[in-house]
């Protein structure tokens, strides 16, 4: 499978809409990029869907369109023509497509202004929107979806979500179940603990799927910052300099660790 027009379009979509994942994908072997770019392009499209309109019903229809496209892939029937969907159909098996359907369903939270019901609902949202990407990629590459990637994906997703808290609040959302500093510290600590757990289970991730972990290259530093000083979440100051980010990505790509 070469980088055809559709796959190039997926890469460009990720480059514009998710530059950090684009950088992580470019650090992976070419064969892995052919799987990751369609999945991450799908994520860009689905994560945008709830925000491009003020009409909830239209946002739901957009999400349903993606759910239906994934169902076509999973069922092995005729798949609609679309640069991202067509690229996904080349790389996903039925289990991987089903995994990504969780991400579509989870994005319904973004459509409305309701807070998360409880900690369990919040955790499920993070896993379904973030860990599902790693699990689907591993499934596509190796036919397996190791539990370690669920833990790593949760840590990755939580770090990204914490960085988005100020913007979500500006848009009228209540992103955290409990926004008190001590609660935010506990949340970040839980995420970091799951990151550590995934590190200890690194051997359970097939070698062919190890490049998938590159997407979590910033999780450790961000979660450490959040648990050390929870005020950085509400201040919007989580993150590292471009030089530090580049150095960490290079280290992870060379070492295979995170």
Q: What is the pLDDT of residue 113?
A: 87
Which domains are assigned to the chain? 5-255 (1.10.600.10)
**Secondary structure of the chain in the HEC alphabet?**
CCCCHHHHHHHHHHHHHCHHHHHHHHCCCHHHHHHHHHHHHHHHHHHHHHHCCCCHHHHHHHHHHHHHHHHHHHHCCCCCCCHHHHHHHHHCCHHHHHHHHHHHHHCHHHHCCCCCCCHHHHHHHHHHHHHHHHHHHHHHHHCCCCHHHHHHHHHHHHHHHHHHHHHHHHCCCCCCCCCCHHHHHHHHHHHHHHHHHHHHCHHHCCHHHHHHHHHHCCHHHHHHHHHHCCHHHHHCCCCCCHHHHHHHHHHHHHHCCC
CB 214 within 8 A of CB 28: yes
Token couple for 112:
């409305």
CB 147 within 8 A of CB 137: no
pLDDT in tens, 210-241: 999 999 999 999 999 999 999 999 999 999 99
b (16+ CB within 10 A) / e for 224-249:
bbbbebbebbeeeebbeeeeebeebb
Q: What is the pLDDT of residue 18?
A: 98
Cβ neighbour number for residue 90 with a 10 Å cutoff? 16
Token couple for 157:
């997703």
pLDDT string in tens for the chain (258-residue length): 568 999 999 999 999 999 999 999 999 999 999 999 999 999 999 999 999 998 999 999 999 999 999 999 999 989 999 999 999 999 999 999 999 999 999 999 999 989 999 999 999 999 999 999 999 999 999 999 999 999 999 999 999 999 999 999 999 999 999 999 999 999 999 999 999 999 999 999 999 999 999 999 999 999 999 999 999 999 999 999 999 999 999 999 999 999
């Amino acid at each position: 499978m070469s980088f055809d027009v559709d796959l190039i379009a997926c890469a460009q979509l990720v480059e514009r809409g998710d530059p950090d994942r684009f950088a992580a994908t470019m650090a992976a072997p070419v064969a892995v990029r052919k799987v990751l770019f369609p999945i991450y392009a799908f994520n860009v499209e689905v994560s945008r869907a709830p925000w491009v309109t003020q009409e909830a019903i239209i946002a739901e229809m957009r999400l349903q369109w993606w759910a239906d496209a994934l169902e076509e892939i999973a069922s092995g029937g005729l798949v609609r023509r679309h640069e991202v969907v067509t690229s996904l159909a080349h790389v996903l098996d039925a289990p991987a497509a089903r995994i990504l359907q969780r991400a579509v369903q989870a994005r319904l939270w973004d459509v409305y202004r309701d807070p998360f019901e409880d900690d369990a609902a919040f955790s499920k949202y993070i896993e379904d929107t973030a860990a599902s990407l790693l699990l689907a990629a591993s499934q596509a590459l190796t036919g397996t979806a190791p539990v370690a990637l669920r833990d790593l994906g949760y840590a990755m997703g939580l770090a990204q979500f914490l960085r988005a808290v100020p913007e979500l609040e500006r848009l009228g959302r209540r992103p955290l179940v409990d926004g008190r500093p001590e609660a935010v510290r506990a949340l970040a600590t839980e995420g970091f603990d799951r990151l550590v757990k995934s590190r200890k289970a690194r051997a359970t991730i097939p070698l062919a799927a190890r490049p998938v972990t590159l997407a979590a290259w910033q999780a450790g530093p961000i979660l450490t910052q959040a648990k050390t000083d929870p005020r950085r979440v509400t201040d919007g100051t989580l993150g590292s300099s471009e030089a530090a980010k580049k150095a960490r990505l290079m280290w992870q790509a060379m070492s295979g660790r995170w």
